Each structure stands twice: as structure tokens, then as C-alpha cells.
Amino acid sequence: MYDILKGLRVIEGSSFVASPVCGQHLLGLGAEVIRFDNIGGGLDASRWPIDGAGRSLFWEGLNKGKKSIAIDLNSPAGRELATQIITAPGEDAGLFVTNFPAAGFLSHERLAAHRPDLITARVMGWASGRNAVDYTMNAITGLPLITGPEDLPPDVPVNHVLPAWDLITGAYAAFTLMAAERNRRRTGQGGEIRIPLVDIAATTLGHLGQIAEVTADGPPRIRSGNDLFGAFGCDFLTADGKRLILVGITARQWKGVIETFGIGAEVAALEDRLGVSFDQEGPRFLHRKPLFDMVQKVIGAMSYAEAAALLNEKGICWETYRSLQESMAEEPGFISGNPVFNQQTHPSGHSYPTGGAPATFPALPRHPAPRAPRLGEHTEEILAELLDLPAHEIARLHDQRIVAGPES
């Protein structure tokens, strides 16, 4: 954690992945992030993964370090309270991150009536307001139809387990919120930013050349299994059953593969027979199968220890396929020994490595990543310090179940 954004206050009304990720990135660089949820928890309060007692490790991971207030958002009084929190005064305040509907009680227009320079970063499915989540969004990108084993029927999709569009959207929302905050400092103007998943996905495909690919002449892309598209790369099996991935994307990497495995003569003979040069990555991909066979023959005769020693000695770009548990135990610098992580005990009662800001600022001190809050843990603090409510008014809000403190 860093103090770069110290003093900045961000209010978050969100659930699931993209919007909480936005708040988490801002918090990691020092912003104060206050998240409000319905009493009893929002839509993601019990989302998997969970522990044996049913406590959401998902919620815990996405909300570490945030301040939590529980409000009855179904009541007019609760909604008014949320509005006051979002639009509270302060030069470094008036920043709101949400994935609530654009036309609801948290619409930017309604909120900006209380604070005209408010900045709202709103994560959406579609710009039209149509619902979408990462997995439904991914379905229209075409990617599930070119993911998976080569022998799958072309109309059978393979979903990716990583919610990539959510994660990219959350990071981009944090970036645009900071851009809008800088603009407000220059002009005094706030405004709403709408960040639809569909637009993140569509523009990303354009950045990667895939929109041009399907509109240009040439055959459509098909599944290539574990083969690295457009270059040399695949998984290989050692004699003792360990599987690793090895790539040769650059000319230097490809030269290293040839020299490491002693396949120069075979590669040259294949080039002569096909009338191509493997100095370029395109031909290496088009004719990858015989090249893979050459490398597999050598790796398949080695134990994992022998292969690892050779690949490390030669500086080849490679890695071992492991479970997360294995990588945590066996890969120094991934989580164990990584200064991004520190051991932290969370409200679930579990103690585990907890990640802070993934970026490193070598000249700045890094502070330990904090624990997650209990739902409603900071209710009284927020009401007293942010809204300056007296104790008897806070007690009344509790008595009327408009707000709630931490769960027992």
C-alpha cells in the first residue's frame, strides 16, 4: 500500500467484481474508500469462494482496507443517507464508484443536484443499460469459440475461468476516475463517466487486431489448443510426468530454443523442405507441429529436474504448470517472499497472504496490506466523522434500522 492518493475520499456503492476492483486499486495507492451495502449484505455478500462456515472469501478479498457502512437502501431515509455520504463536502471528496443502474436513485443527475462537481464512475453492462456480466459479455466476443482443444466442434464454446473483462473494466474505471479528478482540479467541473463492459471488450479486441482480422481477407481463426497463437509456444511433458510451457516469441528466444535442444540441423532441413524461414514467428506458428515434436522428443527424454536446470541455464522463457497451492509453496517471489503480500488475519478468522498495490514505487515506502472490514464495521465512525451526526441521531438511525453496525 502507498500514500500517493492519501487524503482522497472515494465512496463505493457496488457489488461483484469490476466496481469493487476499481475501489481496491484506488485504495492500494492511498485513497480512503468507503463502501456502503444494504443491511445484511449486498448481492455479493455470500459469493463464492466461501470457507467451511459459508463466509465469503470473495467479498473479503475485494474489500480489504475499505470502510464499511450498512444502510437500509430500500427505505427513503436510507437512500437519503447514502446520498449525503456520496455528496459530502471536501476538495478531495465527491468521487463515487458504482455499478448501480444509471436511472435509479443513485443516478448522477440526482446526486449532482446536491453536489454539482460530483464525479461518478459508473460500471455498466451495455451503454444502453442492458444487463451483462463478464461471462455473458465474453460470449459475444467470439473468444469462447476459439478457446480449448483443437478437436472440439466449432460451435462448442469454452468459457474462461478468469473474469478478464471485469478486471480490465475495474482497472480502467480507476484510471478514468483519476483523469476526471484531474480535470475537475483544472476546470472545477465534475460529471459522469460510464464504463460499459461491452465497450471495454470491443475496444480490446480492436487493440489486439482481432476486429481487423475478421474483416480482412483470410481464413477465420480456429482453435489452437494450448499452442501460442501466431508464435512458437506450447506445453511439453517431461519423462517423469511434469508439464511445462515453453515459448520462443522473439528471434532471440527462438535461437535459444534451437541451441538449447540441439535441433538446428532438423530445423534447417524442415525449412529447406517447406521452403520457409523460421526466423519469423508466423512460419513457426504455421508449421508448429513438427517443431513441437522436435522439442518434445528432447524434453520427453529428460526428468523435470534435468529440464529445469537446462532451461534455466540457457535463459529460456518457460514455466511449470502448477496448482495455486503448489505455486504458493514452490515458487519463490510469486506469493511467498513477494513484498506485495503480507500475512493478515481477516474477519473470517482466516490468516493468509494479502496483496496490496501490485505496482512498486521503488523510492516510496510500501505499507502492509490491510484486513477486510466486517460488514457495517465503520457505520458509526462514518456517520459521526463524515456527516457530523451527534450520538443521539446515530442511535435513532440504529433504533429505526436505517443503519446497522458490524455483524455479530
Show which residues are catalytic: 166
123, containing H or E segment = strand 119-124
Task: Supply φ then ψ for residue 280, to 5 degrees.
Answer: -100, 145
Instruction: Please report, for residues 71, 220, 397, 399, the alpha-carbon distance to residue 393 in angstroms, rounded to integers and kept in the order given.
Output: 15, 65, 6, 10
* CA atoms of 346 and 350, how far apart (whole Å): 6
Q: How many CB atoms lie within 10 A of CB 23?
A: 29
Q: Is 260 exposed, middle or buried (0-12, 13-18, 19+ CB in 10 A)?
A: buried
11, containing H or E segment = strand 9-13
Q: Cell triple for residue 143? A: 473468444
* CA atoms of 137 and 199, how far apart (whole Å): 10
Query: 492500494: which residue's cell?
Result: 28
Cβ neighbours of residue 45 closer than 8 Å, sequence gap 6 or more: 37, 56, 59, 375
Provide the H-helix boundaries in 69-126: 76-86, 108-112
Q: How many CB atoms lie within 10 A of CB 33?
A: 25
Q: Are 344 and 270 in contact (CB under 8 A)?
A: no
Q: Are 174 and 22 in contact (CB under 8 A)?
A: yes
